[in-house]
A and B are shown apart, each in its own frame.
Chain A
Amino acid sequence: MTDKTNLTVSRRAFLGATALGATTLAMPNVLRAQERSIKVGVYGGYFKDSFDQHIFPEFTNATGISVDSIAEPTGEAWLVQLQQAARAGQAPADLSMMSQVAMLKGQSTDLWAPLDLSKVADADKMLPQFINEYPDGRVAGVGAVAWYITLVSNTDTYPEAPESWGFMWDPANEDKLGLLALVSNSFLLEVTAKTFFGGTDILDTDEGILQVMDKLAELKPNVRLWYRDEAQFEQALKSGEIPMGQYYHDVTGLAAADGFPVRSTFPKEGGILDSGCWALSRASDKGDEAHEFINFMSQPSMQALMSRKVGTAPTLKRDTLDLTDAEFASVSSDIDPVLPRYDLYTTKSDWLNQKWTELIVG
């Protein structure tokens, strides 16, 4: 699962500017919200802070339902807690923000209560990749937050923006790349598959995966840094020490806006779109409130607000939003994204991890 908590450091800076307005909005709702409430689990750190300040007060304001926000621990500990609690009929949170891999793992134990999209007014505007379904078609979760990982480069070193992920393989780029170190957060298998093998279907078989890995192995001489810590790469990218790599689109845009010689490019194969879902624990008795919450969050106005304040990519179709071109471009793109094959990370997790580690360490 993607460790979004790491983002807190780099994103917290621009959060402060908008913090004041949010708290004043929240105040009048305290009394009115007594009767109805909902517990919402959010990734701890950056996301919880932004939601507490920008998003939840709006929801309470509009519906009268108070939100009890809970910081989810990193890793899969939260999923384990939810599963164990559900077995005992308890729900530490009604709704939780879950990574796509955790969604799939929860599906396997029927942890998620099916959602009724008819209660979500703007469901028809939603991009299909943000509706998480059980194999039988029931809806397990609805997109909560999404973000792009793109091909980023230093504009001093690369005056021309690269057009394709394939540019990373150019021998001229020897020792110039910074890439994420883990198979499950870099999604480089998907990138390679889409760039060189016409799509991610090749990843359906072990042979196909190994074939993609062989192609990836050709990239190794060009990689200077396999990073786990984002701050490390961001700094090196800004200084030109490591002039190219994969990184978060919105954070790179903010750095460029601050005057650093960096750019984020959506290659023609698309940026990597990673996301988290809202999912309802089957042990929760707050189904109505949960649907109201999802309904509220899925409004074009809220998606636009999140794009502006939290920096997430909207889960709705572009033409339903009032985002300006610049606002939209700062968080998303119309180019068909590279969609991670989350199924691989549930069914073949250990095998993939082992092969990946051998690939980059060996």
Chain B
Amino acid sequence: MRRSPPQKLTDYLPIAFPAAMLGLFFVVPFAIMVAVSVFKRVPGGFYEPAFTLANYARFLSPFFGEVLVFSLFLAAFVSAICLLIGVPFTYLLTRLRRGNQVVWLIALLGVLSLSEVIIGFSWSTLLSRTAGLSNLFVWLGLMDRPQSWTPSFGAVLTGLVYQAFPYTVLVLYPAFSRLDPSLMEAARTLGSSPIRAFLNVVLPAMRTTLLATSIIVFIFALGAYLLPQILGRPQHWTLSVLVTDQAIYQSNMPFAAAMAVFLVMASLALVGLSVAISGRKGAGQ
């Protein structure tokens, strides 16, 4: 089919709807957020239109710097663990019989239907001393007495990974299902053990999917603000928690917006960087 460039205004009609939706639900809210971030806070009130960089200036302190670094580190860690578990899991899942695959996928979708609050409370119970998993280990004779594992960094990590894992698998699943199984077999007949073949053929062949998945999980984890509160100590609070504090409890919308803009910028920069790096590696493909 030959495509001719659009000539009349109506030729642009097919993209009008997606463009309008994108504008309405992404560009406009983001623009409002950017605008509010330079507004002047009215203590004891709300905010009034102005142009001030004071909100950004307040953010540029070692304290918020540390929180930002921790947030990025936590998100990257969650993303790495999700891929580390999710990739072999999804690969083995796609090797199962169709019926079994469906059962697994439905179970994972079930996790998606749980709210962040339920996940947080469930894990805080599971990791507690009085009613948690450690009691089971004591009963099994693996531990001497029950222990409390929450709040802690491990608990935050566990909760976030649990929540992000279904997304990981659902993003990886279509690509792994489409993966030609003979790639792996070819690698084996050419002299690679199954694990080696998985590492040097399957993973590199899926590079783009893996990168996309890690970015999705990274962004997802970066936005988490409930789980770090429920499962973590204050030093495990992410920037998103502080944004929520400012927006809801301090009514400081301009500062909350400035932090949010900074968070978006920082994550976009990281995403751009990783795409650029992988793009150079995959150049000529």
Give Cα A75–Cα B242 distance, bound, in whole angstroms. 16
Q: Smallest CB-CB separation from A184: which chain B residue?
A: B249
CB atoms of A83 and B45 under 8 A apart: yes
Given contacts A182-B249, A228-B229, contact A361 B45 (CB under 8 A): no
A29 on the B face (CB < 8 A): no
Q: Which residues of B contact A105 (CB under 8 A)?
A: 44-45
Given contacts A228-B229, A229-B229, A362-B63, contact A349 B43 (CB under 8 A): yes
CB atoms of B235 and A76 under 8 A apart: no
CB atoms of A3 and B249 under 8 A apart: yes
Q: Smallest CB-CB separation from B41: which chain A residue?
A: A350
Q: Which residues of chain B (252-275) have a CB below 8 Å from chain A?
A: 252, 255
Q: Which residue, B46, B124, B128, B249, has most C-beta atoms of chain A within 10 A?
A: B249
Interface mask (A233-250 → B, CB under 8 Å = 1, otherwise 0): 001100111000000000
CB atoms of A229 and B45 under 8 A apart: no
Give Cα A173–Cα B63 distance, bound, in whole angstroms. 28
Give Cα A231–Cα B230 distance, bound, in whole angstroms. 11
Give Cα A235–Cα B41 distance, bound, in whole angstroms. 37
Given contacts A239-B131, A349-B43, A353-B250, contact A229 B234 (CB under 8 A): no
Q: Which residues of B contact A12 (CB under 8 A)?
A: none
Q: Which residues of B contact A349 (CB under 8 A)?
A: 43-44, 250
CB atoms of B130 and A241 under 8 A apart: yes
CB atoms of B250 and A232 under 8 A apart: no
Give Cα A361–Cα B70 distance, bound, in whole angstroms. 12
CB atoms of B45 and A76 under 8 A apart: yes
Sample 11 A-B pairs with CB under 8 A, ordered by A number. A83-B45, A182-B249, A229-B230, A232-B121, A241-B131, A349-B44, A350-B41, A350-B43, A350-B252, A350-B255, A357-B242
A interface residues (Cβ-Cβ under 8 A, vs B): 3, 74-77, 79-80, 83, 104-105, 108, 181-182, 184-185, 224-229, 231-232, 235-236, 239-241, 346-347, 349-350, 353-354, 357-358, 360-362
Q: Which 4 pairs across A and B sit closest by C-beta, in order of nearness?
A: A105-B44, A239-B130, A361-B234, A76-B251
